[in-house]
Amino acid sequence: RGKARGAYEFGAKISAAITEHGLMYIDRLEWEPYNESGDLQMQVERYKDRCGHYPESVHVDKIYRTRENRAWCEERSIRLSGPPLGRPVNTAGIDKKILRAKRKQERRDESIRQAIEGAFGVGKRRYGMDCVYEKLRITSETTIMMNMLVMNMEKILKDLYALFLSAFPSVIFDRKPVIIAV
């Protein structure tokens, strides 16, 4: 409905998660503006329900990196990505190897976090999530959920196709050209 050119945000606010297998889950879909930093604990618990264990690390936007969320993750031995709160650390007395390893980990965390941003970008570009035309709340939510379902189905089909190609490469790559004479 043209929300990209608007002066303020409106429409659905989605809290979503991507698992290590690349599947996307919608944990919360709201229409009213709210502070999503309170969603982290709920999302991690839902991950635990889906996968049977807590994640090793959580890669989130800045708004989720609150003291409360950091303490909650620390209690459960979950590494929360991003810089620590407070003033930047003075790097003068720190070993360069440790500093390099820390920066490398931060870059890796940021690239993992970009997976969710990329998934939303693909959803907007390929699946029409940038402009949901339905008028009613229930039909808009259904459209958003169906888009996520189709995105997950495409991911599963791509994985199955890659598995098939790795198991039977001769089916595709060892074909001889067929010449038909008339």
Looking at the domain assignment, is residue 174 inside a domain?
Answer: no
Mind giving me the DSSP string for 69-90?
Answer: HHHHHHHTT-EEPSPPSSSPP-
**Domain ranges, residue 38:** 3-87+94-158
CATH of the domain at 59: 3.30.420
Mean pLDDT of 76-87: 84
Query: What is residue 85's predicted lDDT score, i.e. its pLDDT?
Result: 76
Within a domain: 163: no
User: For 77-86, 161-170, 173-182, which range has the lowest pLDDT when averaged over its residues?
Assistant: 173-182
pLDDT digits 0-9 by tens, 140-165:
999 999 999 999 999 999 999 989 88
DSSP state, residue 59: -
The reply to whether 48 falls in a domain is yes
State pTM to two decimals. Answer: 0.75
Q: How many structural domains compose the chain?
A: 1
Give domain status of residue 82, yes or no: yes
Chain centre distance of CA 5: 25
What would the two tokens of residue 126 be?
């390929």
- 182 in any annotated domain: no
Number of other residues whose CB lies within 10 A of the CB of residue 123: 20
**Does a structural domain hold residue 167?**
no
Q: What is the predicted pLDDT for the residue at 152?
A: 94
Residue 32 lies in a domain: yes
Say which residue the tokens 């709160």 belong to.
Answer: 85
Residue that wins the pLDDT comparison between 1 and 78: 78
In a domain, 178, yes or no: no
State residue 2's pLDDT score. 53
